[in-house]
Amino acid sequence: MDRHSLTHEILSQLPLGGDPGSQLNIHTQFSCPISTGADHGAILDVLTNRTNAQRQQITKVFQALTKQDLLKSMEAALSGNLERVIVGLLKPPAQYDAHELRAAMQGPGTDDKVLTRILISRSETDLLSIRSEFRKRHGKSLYSCLQVETRGDYQAALLALCRAEDL
């Protein structure tokens, strides 16, 4: 099966239109991302014009049809800022947020803006998922990492948002 027909098959099997029964029949020019000659514009177009839930469907169908992981395929085919954007788009929200929180606490200094933006803008349900994903991915609780990386009233505010339920 060539790249064009594989891509068309993947995308046409996804119910991504307005109603549950509609099928996606656009973007047939999208090049399969497993080649290093992937069409970057088409990849961006397909992934940025979908919700995260739809992107998760795309990754599942891609896996089922190709027996390859779309995220790993993208990492192999892309580089630089484009790779970071596409990888971020393909991750489920809690996984992405857990990654970004950890990155904000690594290296020299803590990126307080990232911590604040994520922790104050997520719902309690989202925060539960983020905390779980953080522990799964990093082997430590988000709460304990925030205790080490922050101080004072700012720390108290972040810990209150994070809550200690996952200690």
What does the pLDDT look like over 26-65, one tens digit per residue? 333 333 444 445 577 888 888 899 999 999 999 998 899 8
In the chain, CATH 1.10.220.10 covers: 3-90, 93-162
**Which tops the pLDDT comparison, 66 or 121?**
121
Q: What's the CATH fold of domain 3-90? A: Annexin V; domain 1 (1.10.220)
pLDDT of residue 34: 41
Check residue 59 and report its DSSP letter: H
The vertex-123 CA angle with 117 and 129, nearest 5°, equals: 95
From the list 99, 108, 104, the residue with the least C-alpha distance to 138 is 99
For every residue of 115-148, DSSP letters joined together read HHHHHHHS-HHHHHHHHHHHHHHHSS-HHHHHHH
Considering only residues 7 and 109, tell me which one the structure prediction assigns the higher pLDDT.
109
Chain centroid to CA 20 = 24
Q: What is the pTM of this model?
A: 0.74
Q: Helix, strand or coil for residue 11?
A: helix
Class (C level, CATH) for 93-162: mainly alpha
Read off the pLDDT band of 22 (50, 70, 90).
Answer: very low
Q: Give the pLDDT score at 165.
A: 54
Number of H helices, E strands in the chain: 10, 0
Residue with tokens 């929180």: 101
